[in-house]
Chains A and B, each alone.
Chain A
Amino acid sequence: MSILEIIRFAFRGLSINRLRTALTTLGIMIGVSSVIILIAVGNGSAKSIQSSLDRLGTNSIQVRSNAGGFGGQRARASTANVKPLTILDAVALSDPKQAPHVKQAAPIANSNNTVCSFSTSTSTPSTFSGTWPSYFEASNAKVSKGTYFTTEDVNQSRRVAVIGQTTATELFGTDNPLNQTIRCGGIPFTVIGITEAKGSQGFQDGDSLFLAPITAVENSLTGYQALSSIIVEATSSTTTDLAQTEIQTILDARHKVKNANSRDYRLFNQASLLATSSSNSQVFTVLLGAVAAISLLVGGIGITNIMLVTVIERTREIGIRKAIGAPKGAILTQFLIEATILSLVGGLMGVAGGFIGSQFTIIGVKPVIVPASVFLAFGVSVLIGLFFGGYPASRAASLRPIEALRHE
């Protein structure tokens, strides 16, 4: 008896009760497509968290000196050994040979509580920094009106400034701030650009901002002292760890740090934030996947149920087949194939349904299909057919013909 013949019998068996076959298939289809869609939703939300973090500048790493007073007990106790961060440190970090995973670095000299004024209005930017033009990219600050200041401006110590939207509104109201001269700490700066609204970052208003060439700020306000920090941009969000190691190697050498516990600087990056958020979204994905897996399981039980009913309904037919010479294996195979066809067709339709469903935005998340989930869901659905169809099939195969024939 050829397997093709048995497959034909199986198809004929399924075609006897089309509605039932369709409904059983639907159960598996819903299971498979919900696994695919829900995992895609989980994945999509992880992707969207990642991209919003990227927008905030996840590639950036801040280097802060322990001299600044943020250093904590241990650092303060050894203040004597602390070397401040300098422009030269920033230059060293920008060297692509020593730090291949650093895209760029920018020194930052902050001037705290510096009051800016324009005619009668005043504003105290929460971030008042002198820096290099590379700062804009490293910290993801974009100018929406006007221009950035340039390396030329830094070299010439030009008193030009890019301000944030909060600062602009506080000083100018609705007037155009471009090319106006404001006084900060008594020093005149010409506003040449306004940054894009960034929103609040933690406790700080990211738009309460004043950026000027570092040379101009040092000249007139802070003096040529230690840098407040250096902002470093890694080549991508996946290389921040590598970049961090490179920064440590360079600065350890420059600051003559002997062991990692006595560093006179500290690194802050958003990679750890990213790790937290991705582990959160992983939990989310696993939860969604578990819910979907349950529906797949229910679909599988549906197959068992319907196959058991089918076997009971066709007991007499099984008896006839055995009486006219059907071996146990042929009956077993026929019912196993029937169950597998149900789950296979359901699985394929589920994959199609999963792909279609993932085209829509679900609860504000654009689903992104995980290819592995497609294979997993489809594979599991086929296995479910074999596994859950196995019991009814073996029951059918081991029916004694004499009893099966008596069955009405």
Chain B
Amino acid sequence: MSDHLVIDVRGAVKKYGTGQASIYALDGVDLQIKSGEYVAIMGPSGSGKSTLMNIMGALDNMTSGKYFLDGIEISSMDENALSIVRGRKIGFIFQSFNLIPRTTALANVELPMAYQGIKSAERKMRALKALEVVGLSDRVDHEPTELSGGQQQRVAVARALATRPALLLADEPTGALDSKSTHDLLDLFDQINAAGRTVIVITHEADVADRAKRVIRMRDGKVVSDTMNDRRAGART
């Protein structure tokens, strides 16, 4: 783990609506995540964890505050620049997998690299490598409907990994999976993190959060606790 900050959020405020009816989804959040960390962000629904995830993922902008992703300030970027940042810096994993329908696993994994302009041959090589890492080498030509939920989520992980992002951002990744698939996926996250990649998991499931090294709890748009997961960290080291 280095001291380089992958995520540096300062005074993040996200307000919906105006005047009396306005709601603060984020009410002054400060958050620093170093390269190589494995962080779980927990909280009940409405706590602002999804809003935070959208802001960290450059999918949404803040009402006020500053956000540096991998050392670059992106809070002032326009949508077009943000899409490039998303493609290069972030690997997304969603609850509902979000694979492109009627498109093979391989093509799905290749897609973000295609938008980055990576040449076809290299793209294919990296995609096959990523699919191998997630254990789907024998499913590369299958379309999403021909894969189980766990397999689809692993394709999504491969897609996120293939671009070699600064961070892996997972939003309730196990929400649609059975316990066996959940277990496999969390093992995969451990493995990815052990290889040095930053992993951030948004979840409301305690057993998912237990696997992370650092747990951040949110409530009403604020960070209420930020603890190192000693039990797990101890088990590993």
User: Is there contact, CB below 8 Å, between A317 and B86?
Assistant: no
From B83, B94, B100, B117, give the contact of A328 (CB < 8 A): B83
User: Is there contact, CB below 8 Å, between B103 and A321?
Assistant: no
User: Is there contact, CB below 8 Å, between A1 and B59?
Assistant: no
Docked complex Cα distance between A320 and B57 (Å): 13
Q: Which of B108-116, B205-213, B220-228 contacts A (4 or more CB under 8 A)?
A: B108-116
Q: Is B80's beta carbon under 8 Å from chain A?
A: yes
User: Is there contact, CB below 8 Å, between A1 and B98?
Assistant: no
C-beta contact mask, A81-116 vs B, less than 8 Å → 1, else 0? 000000000000000000000000000000000000
User: Is there contact, CB below 8 Å, between B159 and A324?
Assistant: yes
Q: Is B150's beta carbon under 8 Å from chain A?
A: no
Docked complex Cα distance between A322 and B100 (Å): 12
User: Is there contact, CB below 8 Å, between A325 and B88?
Assistant: yes
Docked complex Cα distance between A402 and B171 (Å): 13
Q: Is B43's beta carbon under 8 Å from chain A?
A: no
Contact residues in A for B84 (Cβ distance below 8 Å): 325, 327
From A16, A319, A324, A328, give the contact of B111 (CB < 8 A): A324
Docked complex Cα distance between A319 and B99 (Å): 11
User: Is there contact, CB below 8 Å, between B59 and A402?
Assistant: yes
Whether A327 touches B112, Cβ cut-off 8 Å, given contacts A16-B102, A321-B100, is: no
User: Is there contact, CB below 8 Å, between A326 and B98?
Assistant: no
Contact residues in B for A44 (Cβ distance below 8 Å): none
Q: Is B187's beta carbon under 8 Å from chain A?
A: no
C-beta contact mask, A315-346 vs B, less than 8 Å → 1, else 0? 01101111111111110000000000000000
Whether A328 touches B114, Cβ cut-off 8 Å, given contacts A402-B59, A405-B59, A405-B98, is: no
From A16, A319, A320, A325, give the contact of B87 (CB < 8 A): A325
Interface class of chain A by DSSP: helix
Whether A320 touches B60, Cβ cut-off 8 Å, given contacts A1-B115, A1-B117, A325-B86, is: no
Q: Is A20's beta carbon under 8 Å from chain B?
A: no
User: Is there contact, CB below 8 Å, between A324 and B86?
Assistant: yes
Most buried by B among A323, A328, A400: A323
User: Is there contact, CB below 8 Å, between A322 and B83?
Assistant: yes
A404 CB to nearest B CB, Å: 10
A-B interface pairs (CB < 8 A), number? 65
Docked complex Cα distance between A228 and B222 (Å): 113
From B92, B116, B163, give the contact of A323 (CB < 8 A): B92
User: Is there contact, CB below 8 Å, between B115 and A323?
Assistant: no
- Nearest to A9 among chain B residues (CB) is B114
Contact residues in B for A400 (Cβ distance below 8 Å): 60, 79
From B54, B79, B94, B112, give the contact of A325 (CB < 8 A): B112
- Nearest to A327 among chain B residues (CB) is B83
From A316, A325, A402, A405, give the contact of B83 (CB < 8 A): A325
Most buried by B among A2, A320, A327: A320
Which residue numbers of B lie inside 8 Å of A, CB to CB? 54, 57, 59-60, 79-80, 83-84, 86-88, 92, 94, 98-103, 111-112, 114-117, 159, 163
Known: A320-B99, A325-B84, A328-B80. 20 other contacts (CB 8 A): A1-B115, A5-B114, A12-B102, A316-B98, A319-B98, A320-B98, A320-B100, A322-B83, A323-B98, A324-B86, A324-B87, A324-B111, A325-B87, A325-B88, A325-B115, A327-B80, A327-B84, A328-B83, A330-B115, A402-B54
